[in-house]
Amino acid sequence: MPISGYPDPSHAPLVTRTTFGPAKHEWTANDDDAGHHHGLLDMNETPCYLALYWQSSARGRIIHVGTYKLNLRRLAAAGYAQEKPGRKVRLRFVRSADGTIEIRLNDSSPGLPVSIARFDEEANT
């Protein structure tokens, strides 16, 4: 279930939640590993549709965080993603201790909150 207010509507040029499907990309982050997930995407894929899941084997759950419509060029220009050689963009999602999922370049950079994923709740609302 979508988290009200995430992502903030003011970030719509960068990222929005969508029900478009099927998404071209499906990523599953492993909370037991590092609490983040990253990968390379084609910068020319505009828009880029990505379904994000977060799993915890220790808690025995996989959560559908959301499906997103992303503008990779704008995310890179705003400092939330990194341009790489070959017209690629490295996109990274991070889950903080309170469950907030953010798009963030690295641990010292600001994040763009896109959802909340809590494993201790029946449903993420």
Residues pairing with 49 in the sheet:
69
pTM over 0.85: yes
**Cα–Cα distance, 100 to 111 (Å, whole number):** 10
**Tokens found for residue 98:** 């309170």
Give the rounded distance of the alpha carbon of 55 from its chain centre.
13
DSSP 11: G
Average pLDDT, the chain: 90
Burial of 57 (0-12, 13-18, 19+ CB in 10 A): exposed
For the range 107-111, what are the long-range contacts, defined as Cβ-Cβ under 8 Å and sequence gap of 24 or more?
109/79, 109/80, 110/79, 110/80, 111/80
Read off the pLDDT of residues 91-105 as tens digits, 9 standing for 90 and up.
999 999 899 999 999
Burial of 5 (0-12, 13-18, 19+ CB in 10 A): exposed
Read off the pLDDT of residues 58-87 as tens digits, 9 standing for 90 and up.
888 899 999 999 999 999 999 999 999 999
**Cα–Cα distance, 87 to 85 (Å, whole number):** 6
CB 6, CB 103: distance < 8 Å? no
Read off the pLDDT of residues 21-52 as tens digits, 9 standing for 90 and up.
778 999 999 888 888 999 999 999 999 999 99
